[in-house]
């Protein structure tokens, strides 16, 4: 994760985020990423935080999506993207999953 461009927010007292998978993980909160918009400086499991994320993320039904030249030119500031080896399950949970866990059109998908 990229933390260098953030100012740590000491005023946020609740730093424990609870999710279905991770019941008690300390996660820092940050604010003012090169501007005045407050954001959380962390991403869900199997995702990485990018200052300039892609607009064409790899998904289960479209595993080769980022190979397009147009996708490489797009920059979406302060975005969580799937870690290397994971694909966005945009037809199911929306989480980043391994290829073996991808479901496309009701069938298992394998790369």
Residue-wise pLDDT tens digits, 26-72: 444 444 343 333 455 678 889 988 888 877 888 888 887 765 666 66
The answer to the question of residue 5 being in a domain is: yes
Tokens 């302060």 label which residue?
78
| Angstrom distances, CA of residue 70 to CA of 61, 83, 103 | 19, 21, 26
The answer to the question of residue 19 being in a domain is: no
Strand partners, 31: 7
Q: Is the Cβ–Cβ distance between 87 and 103 less than 8 Å?
A: no
Q: Which domain holds residue 31?
A: 1-11+24-42
Check whether residue 35 and residue 55 sit in a common domain. Answer: no
- pLDDT one-digit tens code per residue, 15-26: 344 344 443 344
| Angstrom distances, CA of residue 35 to CA of 30, 39, 54, 78 | 12, 10, 20, 11
What tokens appear for 46 in the block? 């199997």
Check whether residue 32 and residue 54 sit in a common domain. Answer: no
Structure confidence at residue 22 (pLDDT)? 42
**Domain containing residue 101: CATH number:** 2.10.25.10
């Amino acid at each position: 994760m990229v933390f260098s461009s953030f100012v740590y927010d000491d005023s946020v007292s609740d730093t424990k985020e609870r999710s279905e998978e991770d019941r008690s993980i300390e996660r820092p909160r940050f604010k003012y990423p090169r501007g005045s918009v407050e954001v959380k400086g962390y991403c869900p499991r199997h995702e990485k935080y990018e200052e300039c994320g892609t607009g064409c993320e790899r998904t289960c039904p479209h595993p080769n999506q980022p190979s397009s030249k147009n996708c490489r030119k797009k920059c979406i500031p302060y975005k969580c993207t799937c870690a290397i080896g994971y694909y966005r399950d945009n037809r199911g949970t929306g989480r980043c999953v391994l290829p073996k866990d991808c479901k496309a059109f009701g069938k298992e998908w394998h790369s």
